[in-house]
Structure 1
Amino acid sequence: MKRARLIYNPTAGRELVVKQLPQLLTKLEQAGFETSCYATTERWTAAEEARQAAERKFDVVIAAGGDGTIHEVVNGLAGCEHPPKLGILPAGTTNDLARALRLPRDILAACDVITGSRTTLVDVGKFGERYFINVAAAGRITEVTYEAPSRLKTMMGPFAYYAKAIEKLGTLHKPFPLRLQTPRGEWEAEVLLFIIANSVSVGGFERLAPTADISDGLFDVLVVPKTNMTDLLQLATLAMKGEHVHDSRVVYFQTEQIDVDSPETLKLNLDGEHGGHLVGRFEIMPRRLEIFCP
């Protein structure tokens, strides 16, 4: 019998996983999985539990929660020599990775994807000792995702981000100096937004990186140089349709590695979580994890 470790955030999605846990376990048991559970208690407990599950040679690790929970589980698995297969039950506010993988929004239906046994190999990004599977970003607007309180996200869902964005509205168009170097050249400018995307869906925008492929061994890099608030709002409207990448106000390219530097201390966003400071090398780990998908 296959062994599965279900790691879940008990507060995600207005406690959605907790409410449906009996049905989830029944589905997994009927599919031949011997399943045990772990409820996260604080930051990075999901990462440690995933790492231990890999050491104990579980066949499958299932991350149930939002993008933050998935980010931690990926960090627990990506550095392992032979990581277990990864299942995802999306129960968060934006569920970017789940959107990119076209997983059902209903977690019971997403569980059926896991029991269906179809998988795909996906790339993972690496920055220092940290891993990310969906996005690395910097800019005032990216700070909204990890500054919105968990309790507020539980109560309000996506509106928690909107409320935080309104609070920071006056600083969103403040630029910062950035220097980028890839194997093909260098670029330097003052920018408003810097994004390294591994999939098409970022921050709830389902076509923010429209050419991204989570299994192609490449990052999609999007930079918005210094501009005014009017232009920024226009680009946001274009981004809803994926048309922003053709606009002259946007820099968009692909690379397997990128070095980033800035004289300013900038907060780094990794998969919606605070990831330290934006200085260093980002590199792709091609087809690093095997994930269940439709």
Structure 2
Amino acid sequence: MLVYNPVSGKKKNHKNLDLLLKKLLEIGYQVTVYSSMELNNHDNAIKEACENKWDTIFIAGGDGTVNHTLQYVAEQAYRPKVGVFPFGTSNEFAKFIGIPTNIKEAVSVIERGQTKTVDIGKFGNQYFANIAAAGWLTDITYKTSPFLKSYFGEFAYSLYFIKTLLLAKQPGEISIRVSPHMELSDLSVFLIMNGNSVGPLERLINTTTHLNDGYFHLLTCKKTNRFQLLLALLAKILHITDNVSTINYTQINSGSFKIPESLMVNLDGDQSQVNSMEFKVLPHHLRVFIP
């Protein structure tokens, strides 16, 4: 199965779809294509592919398309291998597992056939592959204009980030119980990351990231004024110092979160409704093609 999102990312990426299908056919795959629009009316197609033990589910889209597919694959006892083709804006999950942006090179990854298991996250009743977040500035990915994203890619996020930093009010207090002995409070934002970058912010966390070590990264920020937050973020991004008083980093495999009712949770870049504020890592839950 190929899950294809025709409106993801930059328009020029979609010119490669026919090439992609031709290459997969040459490798030996018999591919059934579903657009993300079709799946809105027939989500059971993904579930049926799992129940019928199809070999592979390919995803040609961005992180939102990966996340949508994951909601159905993650629930199944048998989960097909997953191959990702980065057609989106940020393609965080593709970056995390090392998939090149060039489609011919990405197909070569599939042709070599090397796979590895990766951890995924579960927040309430929803799954995510790469990022879960809530609080100040975390609505950027789904509030940025699709028009801007189609022409400017990740730079569109930077423009909206500046606007939000200058104009948006901070939310009410967020708190997190990481373990019986560790609680973080008086927070304006939290970010759970499978990898160590977010959009154009490369290596936001300056540490080695593993695909399946059973832990995600947790980055939190204390409530502060805009100027102090900007300085703290710059210090973190530029790795001027790892000791930024307003920003805390720890590894996490489970936790209990408390956020204001007015806030939504961002899972893999999309606004999500969750039925609880409990988080856990699901180790080795997905098998993906890697270089």
- Per the TM alignment, residue 220 of structure 1 is displaced from its structure 2 partner at its CA by 1.2
- Per the TM alignment, residue 277 of structure 1 is displaced from its structure 2 partner at its CA by 6.0
Q: What do the CA deviations read for 1:44-65 (whole angstroms, capped 9, x no partner)?
A: 5696543332123210001111
Q: Are 2:124 and 2:274, in contact at CA under 8 Å, matched by a contact in 1?
A: no
Q: Aligned to 2:31, what secondary structure does the other structure show?
A: strand
What is the correspondence of 1:49-60 to structure 2 with a 5 Å cutoff? 49-60=45-56
Q: What do the CA deviations read for 1:182-226 (whole angstroms, capped 9, x no partner)?
A: 334242422222011111222332212333423110121110101
**TM-score, scaled to structure 2:** 0.90
AA aligned opposite 2:4: Y
What is the correspondence of 1:35-50 to structure 2 with a 5 Å cutoff? 35-41=31-37, 48-50=44-46
- With over 3 angstroms needed to count, the CA separation of the structure-2 counterparts of 1:60 and 1:167, relative to structure 1, is same
Gaps of 5+ in 2: none
Deviates further, 102-111 or 226-235: 226-235
Q: Are 1:138 and 1:269, in contact at CA under 8 Å, matched by a contact in 2?
A: yes
Q: Aligned to 2:210, what secondary structure does the other structure show?
A: coil
> Percent same amino acid at aligned positions?
34
Q: Specify the alignment match of 1:254 in structure 2.
A: 251
Q: Distance between the aligned counterparts of 1:244 and 1:49, measured in 2?
A: 49
Q: Specify the alignment match of 1:185 in structure 2.
A: 181
What is the correspondence of 1:274-285 to structure 2 with a 5 Å cutoff? 274-276=271-273, 280-285=277-282
**TM-score, scaled to structure 1:** 0.89
State which of 46, 62, 70 in structure 2 corresponds to 1:66.
62
Give the count of matched residue pairs: 290
AA aligned opposite 1:145: T
State which of 125, 129, 133 in structure 2 corresponds to 1:133.
129
CA RMSD of aligned residues (A): 2.4
- With over 3 angstroms needed to count, the CA separation of the structure-2 counterparts of 1:43 and 1:235, relative to structure 1, is farther
Q: Distance between the aligned counterparts of 1:126 and 1:46, measured in 2?
A: 23
State which of 140, 144, 152 in structure 2 corresponds to 1:144.
140
- Per the TM alignment, residue 172 of structure 1 is displaced from its structure 2 partner at its CA by 4.7
- Per the TM alignment, residue 274 of structure 1 is displaced from its structure 2 partner at its CA by 0.4
Q: Aligned to 1:209, what secondary structure does the other structure show?
A: coil
Whether 2:84 is the aligned partner of 1:88: answer: yes
- Per the TM alignment, residue 283 of structure 1 is displaced from its structure 2 partner at its CA by 0.6
Bigger relative contact order (CA 8 A; separation at least 6): 2
Gaps of 5+ in 1: none
State which of 223, 229, 232 in structure 2 corresponds to 1:232.
229
